[in-house]
Chains A and B, each alone.
Chain A
Amino acid sequence: MEITTENDRDTLRHADLDRMQAACDKIAPTWPLDRQIAVNPFWHLRHRPAREVSATLAALSGASLHMPAGFYAEHARPEIADAHLDHAANWLNLDPAALGAGDTAETADTVWLPLSDLVDAEFNPGAGGWREVIVDNISGTCADFFTRSDDDPVRWQGLYRFWLGALTDELATGYRDEVRGLSRQCRRLPDDHEALILLALDELGVLPEQQEHFALAALLSVNGWASWIAYERWVANLAGQHRDGMLELLAIRLAWELVILRATLALEELAARRCLRAWREQLRHLPDRIADHYQAQGGQWLWQTAAERAYQGHLVNQIRTRPVSVERPPELQAVFCIDVRSEPYRRYLEAQSSAVQTFGFAGFFGLPIDYELVTGGARKPLLPGLLAPGLTAHEVGGAALQQDSEVAAERQALSGNAASSFGLVEATGLGFAWKLIRDAFNPRAPRPEAGIALAGTDLELRRGDTPLGDAETGALLHGILTALGLTGNFADTVLIVGHGSETSNNPHAASLNCGACCGSTGAASARLLASLLNRPALRQLLAERGISIPPTTSFHAALHNTTTDEVMVLGKNALKPKIRGWLDAAGDAARLERAPRLGIRETEPFALLRAVRERGRDWSQVRPEWGLANNAAFVVAPRRFLRRANLDGRAFLHDYDVEADTDNAVLTTILTAPMVVTHWINMQYNASVTDNRRYGSGNKVLHNVVGGHIGVFEGQLGDLRIGLAKQSVHDGEHWMHTPLRLSVFVHAPRDRIQAIYDQHEVVQELVDNEWLYLFHITDDYDTRRLYRNQWLAWL
């Protein structure tokens, strides 16, 4: 096209930047360590089929969304029958002979390489590579930038300008001296990030149709920090604001390409032009490379699909038990989180007596709150990452805890400060010898959760700074009880059971806590809900709305310790001895079931309890528990349907009674919120296994916490690491999580599910692009799979 006017040029430039922005929008967020909830790292790529995304990412960054072919053949073969392989081959339109073909797929020469890598290969074979230099530089700059508070003037200038300023400083220290003229090139960079991007596109010669892939590949090379920026963007969006530094990060990455190109051009023009030509050629062939990967990965997807098909069959067999309806009135009702770790415990608790009823519900129990210890202190969100808190649970009289926090904060200030840390060492150093001995040989139990009270005080529900009125609270409670299916037939004792892990010295502790509570335990939510439901005034309001709670019923908050499988009651009122006995017996049985996976050989209940407790408080333990490893299914059904089924702790369980859900609102919520959350968890575990280097955080033994909570480096520097550590999914010999895409089974009529699918794009995307499987299941175990608007006979 002939460019004639300034206007035309502007329009074109805008289009360029729009394409860059489109790539920026494809990076999924990562939550900080203190709120580490699971995220599907491919969330913003969900509008494309999973297999396509897999091929694209393999070509752009070398990422892997599936296991190597050998894994399935070796580890899953007994379960995967030939029939499953045939089924998968048929589904994927592949010849089963393709099974072996995938082996050679991922050789380095099919991964897209940035120009800086080609320059390396041409000029500096064997020397320190640009790749590490660039990643370290960007990562160091980002760490310095993002650990500053929002009111630090440094943050106002934006990431790109900050980087530019810091670069001058680094260059002065003789950074990569061997490329002469690098500093001069760096000084000539424009100080506006958009101008730089346009300049880089021009000089590198990236065609419009190549731009999005090009930009995405550049961002994926610093995916960790890109994910952090995406988090800041996400949080701002939830708060209705706009904040997006992604384009600036992209500009920095492109600036490196640009200065390396310019410097080498100035140094040795012919060779530099050769590199540039080879690089452009590579870019031109990128679509072919993606197609190659798509082809080559067929075998692995065949295995993957067959493994999922095999598990789905197995799961339906597990469910195929005689449903039980509880005839006699319940004596104990207990509400648990949908978390997969609740499943074994609930199963054993129900086995204690037919007078026990359990429920599965997202562990924040529908309370959209954050938690505030003292007025003015930081607030901890206690709800899924998809939502913004509307209400606050304020601790009335959290003074003791506050004092703890103050002391800890001061202690930190003393040892981190140049003026006081020397005197601190000399005056109190000997005390640390005692701490070393204590923590190594006789550790104390860790505090259940940093900064949240477990009992002893009252929580007040507030909006802003004023207490929430009874009428509103009553409406909220009514909604929660309806969604729970707990609207009548109340037992005398109703337990609201949140869950949390017990782990010491673990930067990723939050990832073992409740994902629905934003990485906190469910303790505060459970306490709040139980106390509200015990208030006579609110019960009165509930009765007016048709839910009458008998005066004999009392609600208790409890905490399920997922490391030790103990259930602790929070608050003053003790349980009846019989009920306490049930809880303890269920814990004994659940521990026994989970012990072998932890490598604990004890079978005697007390010794076993001691063993798991020791594990939780051990400051050197990198595998306190297996978390949600091996999760594979999400079952939305009434409990009677599943009561006798043993699902091996692999399924998220959400109670749902289609009869009570007259307007389909409850199911809509389930399929658009808890289903998304479980999908995120599932994909986080999958990606941390299939590609721990890019989507997992690597080796715990090397972890180095950045900025107190932002994330970890593995070792000194390198990109910010996201996802789960290798130790969280691997026991040293085997993967403890088998990557299977989530299978969602919904016990509801097809038209109910279809209606939600039709209305909600996100459900369509997840189902149609095969990020998860959505089945409906009937009382006689008939299943159909929803896919591209059809109900397929799948199992």
Chain B
Amino acid sequence: MTLVTKAYLLIALSPLLHVAAAFLNRSAPRWQLSRNLSLAALAAALAGGGLLLASGGDTVFAAGPIAAPYSLLISVMIGLLGAVIVQFSRNYLAGEPGEHRYLQMLHTALAAILATVLTDHAGVLLFGWAFISFALHELLLFYSDRPAAVMAARKKFLMARAAEVSLAAAVLLLVAEHDTWSISAWMAHYPAELSGTETLAAVLVALAALIKCAQMPSHGWLIQVVEAPTPVSALLHAGIINLGGYLLILFGPLVTSALSAQALVLVIAGGTFLAASREMQRQPAIKAKMAWSTCAQMALMLIEAALGLYELALLHLYSHAFYKAYLFLRSGSAVEQFVIEQQAGPRSVSVPRRIGGMAAAIAMVTGFALATGSLDQFASWLLVAIFIGIALGEAPLRRWRSLLGFALVALAAYSVQKLALGLWLVPEVAATVDHQLTLFVGGLVSLTFLSLWAHWFQQSAVDARDPARLLTFARRLAAKADSGVTLAVRAIWREPRASLERGPLPYSEPAEAE
């Protein structure tokens, strides 16, 4: 057995271990076993991936059963999330009825995600894609006696089917075009001038990615599914919803060859980015805030992918996954955070400090951009600069030294990740990018970021919740679309509502009183 074969077997072991765990939990919850199998699946993904990269480098992917080098990265990410979520759920769900059902579906979902991101076979991809939704549907209905949970799960059900149909159509078109089911073989043909069929396929892929990432107006369910246990939300926001981004990266050479597909993503995700990031700020409930934040973050990831900035999209995909999983699992600490903030005393706002912070941040970031030779991606650097600038601007001067140190470390880590991902994991696709478009849209995106920053700058407190008029309009439009989905759900599932305490009418028609 060659080293490469061993590596493939190890990698294949990782979804299989989750399948085994799902099977072993079919009648009673076996938490310890689940935990160990999840850790083993993580170890298998890590070891297999490492072995594969060590043994063959880029050449092994050309004809192998794995879609792309970054598939390995995402499978490790899913492995880690799976292990953490299983470990978390153990005590969190103790005493809830249906623990074994939960574990079964959780492992099924994890196995399906792993299979989906690893495979190079478009049929397996489709099958896995659909399987994730079915397992997730069961998880979302963990409390199936809650009418709101049922409604949200059904909305999600409709959206998932729409995305699947869209993706399946694209896959069939591409199979017909190239006479193979291998995704990497398809992508080897691009970038190229596209035929009408190929353009349609590209648009359908983009559509599937947009729906999967809950971009407006298909976002309603994402906000409403917090009716499921917290770890299910963590899995959804960290390991499932971002698969739209994976899809766009995987089909990148095709999508970036079709201006219509790119434009579709840029317009929809761009609008979602603006509206959702403002909507996030005005949510009083923590989980709603986080759901809107995911909506906006996914929008940014899709924009990056559609522009061909794959290494950034990838970076965003896993960074956001870890960030949001942590935030969801930690959502119980909101009160503690609130108390600590209150104790801090009034925050001093100083305009010179804010401007100074921003200037320092831009100087640092420009340095890193020049050093890594990626000044042309100024929009992405600006994003990081704004983060560092605000961090400095909010902090008193005595803490600048430690903050600048932190910023240097963060920038170094960011640059290294960006370089590594760009050089190593997505080498050939990155060369296909249309630089003029990237520069143009990058300029637009930069203006957007700057306007967000300017909005922050003019506020004394970072809490202005009443949105601008244009955004109110966008919100209404999106809400209207969402209530349309609600009506569709009502029309499709006509069964009587599971009512909380509704009996027959308490009184029949009384005799006409005198």
Assembly CA distance A403 to B396 (angstroms): 10
Tell me the residues in window 356-404 of chain B with beta carbons closer than 8 Å to chain A beta carbons.
380, 383-388, 390-391, 394-396, 399
User: Is there an interface contact between A414 and B496, defined as CB atoms closer than 8 Å?
Assistant: no
Assembly CA distance A417 to B83 (angstroms): 30
User: Is there an interface contact between B281 and A623, defined as CB atoms closer than 8 Å?
Assistant: no
Given known A-B contacts A33-B335, A433-B322, A702 and B143 have beta carbons under 8 A apart = yes
User: Is there an interface contact between A408 and B337, defined as CB atoms closer than 8 Å?
Assistant: yes
Interface-located stretch among A87-95, A120-128, A354-362: A120-128
Q: Which residues of A contact B322 (CB under 8 A)?
A: 429-433, 435-436
Given known A-B contacts A143-B284, A419-B390, A507 and B332 have beta carbons under 8 A apart = yes
Q: Which residues of A contact B289 (CB under 8 A)?
A: 416
Is B323 an interface residue, CB under 8 A from the partner?
yes
User: Is there an interface contact between A436 and B329, defined as CB atoms closer than 8 Å?
Assistant: yes
User: Is there an interface contact between A281 and B507, defined as CB atoms closer than 8 Å?
Assistant: yes
Q: Which residues of B contact A421 (CB under 8 A)?
A: 277, 280, 293, 297, 387
Selected contact of A426 from candidates B225, B227, B316, B486, CB within 8 Å: B316
Is B30 an interface residue, CB under 8 A from the partner?
no
Q: Which residues of A contact B501 (CB under 8 A)?
A: 62, 108, 111
Is A377 an interface residue, CB under 8 A from the partner?
yes
Q: Which residues of A contact B143 (CB under 8 A)?
A: 699, 702
Minimum CB–CB distance for B238 against chain A, Å: 9
User: Is there an interface contact between B229 and A701, defined as CB atoms closer than 8 Å?
Assistant: yes
Is B334 an interface residue, CB under 8 A from the partner?
yes
Is A793 an interface residue, CB under 8 A from the partner?
no
Dominant SS among interface residues on chain B:
helix
Interface-located stretch among A7-15, A168-176, A307-315: A168-176
Q: Which residues of A contact B341 (CB under 8 A)?
A: 405, 408-409, 412, 708
User: Is there an interface contact between B80 and A433, defined as CB atoms closer than 8 Å?
Assistant: yes
Assembly CA distance A436 to B86 (angstroms): 12
Q: Which residues of A contact B228 (CB under 8 A)?
A: 702
Q: Which residues of A contact B224 (CB under 8 A)?
A: 716
Interface-located stretch among B108-116, B203-211, B253-261, B342-350: B342-350
Q: Which residues of B contact A706 (CB under 8 A)?
A: 284-286
Selected contact of B332 from candidates A126, A376, A505, CB within 8 Å: A505
Tell me the residues in window 317-340 of chain A with beta carbons closer than 8 Å to chain B beta carbons.
none
User: Is there an interface contact between B281 and A704, defined as CB atoms closer than 8 Å?
Assistant: no
Selected contact of A419 from candidates B87, B417, B455, CB within 8 Å: B455
Name the CB-closest residue of B to A510. Answer: B335
Given known A-B contacts A418-B281, A706-B284, A282 and B506 have beta carbons under 8 A apart = yes
User: Is there an interface contact between A423 and B505, defined as CB atoms closer than 8 Å?
Assistant: no
User: Is there an interface contact between B277 and A278, defined as CB atoms closer than 8 Å?
Assistant: no
User: Is there an interface contact between B332 and A416, defined as CB atoms closer than 8 Å?
Assistant: no
Q: Which residues of B contact A705 (CB under 8 A)?
A: 285-286, 331-332, 334-335
Size range of the chain B interface in the assembly:
35 or more
Is A439 an interface residue, CB under 8 A from the partner?
yes
Which of A107, A148, A425 is packed against the most chain B CB atoms within 10 Å? Answer: A425
B interface residues (Cβ-Cβ under 8 A, vs A): 80-81, 83-84, 87-96, 143, 146-149, 151-152, 223-230, 277-278, 280-282, 284-289, 293, 296-297, 300, 312, 315-316, 318-323, 325-327, 329-347, 380, 383-388, 390-391, 394-396, 399, 410-411, 413-414, 417, 449, 452-453, 455-456, 462, 465-466, 472, 475-476, 479-480, 483-484, 486-487, 490, 494-497, 499-510
Is A192 an interface residue, CB under 8 A from the partner?
no
Tell me the residues in window 387-417 of chain A with beta carbons closer than 8 Å to chain B beta carbons.
401-410, 412-417
Q: Which residues of A contact B449 (CB under 8 A)?
A: 419, 422
Assembly CA distance A420 to B487 (angstroms): 37
Tell me the residues in window 66-113 of chain A with beta carbons closer than 8 Å to chain B beta carbons.
107-111, 113
Q: What are 5 A-B contacts with C-beta separation under 8 Å? A: A274-B509, A413-B462, A418-B280, A702-B143, A733-B95
Interface-located stretch among A212-220, A490-498, A724-732: A724-732
User: Is there an interface contact between B504 and A435, defined as CB atoms closer than 8 Å?
Assistant: no
Minimum CB–CB distance for B285 against chain A, Å: 5
Q: Which residues of B contact A147 (CB under 8 A)?
A: 284
Given known A-B contacts A377-B344, A412-B341, A426-B316, A126 and B387 have beta carbons under 8 A apart = no
Given known A-B contacts A128-B497, A507-B335, A619-B330, A169 and B503 have beta carbons under 8 A apart = no
Q: Which residues of B contact A25 (CB under 8 A)?
A: none
Is A552 an interface residue, CB under 8 A from the partner?
no
Name the CB-closest residue of A to B506. Answer: A109
User: Is there an interface contact between B505 and A118, defined as CB atoms closer than 8 Å?
Assistant: yes
Is A241 an interface residue, CB under 8 A from the partner?
no
Given known A-B contacts A109-B504, A620-B90, A404 and B340 have beta carbons under 8 A apart = yes
User: Is there an interface contact between B480 and A410, defined as CB atoms closer than 8 Å?
Assistant: no
User: Is there an interface contact between A417 and B479, defined as CB atoms closer than 8 Å?
Assistant: no
Minimum CB–CB distance for B350 against chain A, Å: 14
User: Is there an interface contact between A436 and B346, defined as CB atoms closer than 8 Å?
Assistant: no
User: Is there an interface contact between B483 and A175, defined as CB atoms closer than 8 Å?
Assistant: yes
Is A373 an interface residue, CB under 8 A from the partner?
yes
Q: Which residues of A contact B316 (CB under 8 A)?
A: 425-426, 429
Q: Which residues of B contact A488 (CB under 8 A)?
A: none
Minimum CB–CB distance for B94 against chain A, Å: 6
Is A156 an interface residue, CB under 8 A from the partner?
no
Assembly CA distance A378 to B345 (angstroms): 6
Given known A-B contacts A128-B497, A409-B341, A703 and B506 have beta carbons under 8 A apart = no
User: Is there an interface contact between A425 and B323, defined as CB atoms closer than 8 Å?
Assistant: yes
User: Is there an interface contact between B338 and A127, defined as CB atoms closer than 8 Å?
Assistant: no
Q: Which residues of B contact A428 (CB under 8 A)?
A: 319, 323, 410, 413
Q: Which residues of B contact A257 (CB under 8 A)?
A: none
- Kindly list 20 other residue pairs between chains A and B, CB separation below 8 angstroms, not including A118-B505, A431-B322: A34-B338, A107-B503, A108-B502, A128-B147, A147-B284, A169-B472, A169-B476, A172-B476, A403-B399, A420-B456, A421-B293, A422-B297, A426-B383, A433-B318, A436-B322, A450-B339, A619-B332, A621-B92, A715-B146, A718-B148
User: Is there an interface contact between A440 and B87, defined as CB atoms closer than 8 Å?
Assistant: yes
Assembly CA distance A415 to B293 (angstroms): 9
Q: Which residues of B contact A423 (CB under 8 A)?
A: 383-388
User: Is there an interface contact between A701 and B96, defined as CB atoms closer than 8 Å?
Assistant: yes
User: Is there an interface contact between B386 and A419, defined as CB atoms closer than 8 Å?
Assistant: yes
User: Is there an interface contact between B344 and A173, defined as CB atoms closer than 8 Å?
Assistant: no
Assembly CA distance A84 to B194 (angstroms): 88
Assembly CA distance A147 to B229 (angstroms): 25
Return the 8 tightest CB-CB contacts between A and B, nearest first. A732-B95, A429-B319, A423-B387, A108-B503, A708-B338, A377-B345, A405-B344, A173-B479
User: Is there an interface contact between A405 and B343, defined as CB atoms closer than 8 Å?
Assistant: yes
Assembly CA distance A401 to B342 (angstroms): 12
Q: Which residues of A contact B277 (CB under 8 A)?
A: 418, 421-422
User: Is there an interface contact between B462 and A416, defined as CB atoms closer than 8 Å?
Assistant: yes
Assembly CA distance A707 to B323 (angstroms): 21
User: Is there an interface contact between A426 and B96, defined as CB atoms closer than 8 Å?
Assistant: no
User: Is there an interface contact between B339 and A701, defined as CB atoms closer than 8 Å?
Assistant: no
Q: Which residues of A contact B287 (CB under 8 A)?
A: 704, 716
User: Is there an interface contact between B284 and A422, defined as CB atoms closer than 8 Å?
Assistant: no
User: Is there an interface contact between B387 and A414, defined as CB atoms closer than 8 Å?
Assistant: yes
Which of A128, A282, A423, A701 is packed against the most chain B CB atoms within 10 Å? Answer: A423
User: Is there an interface contact between B504 and A409, defined as CB atoms closer than 8 Å?
Assistant: no
Assembly CA distance A107 to B502 (angstroms): 10
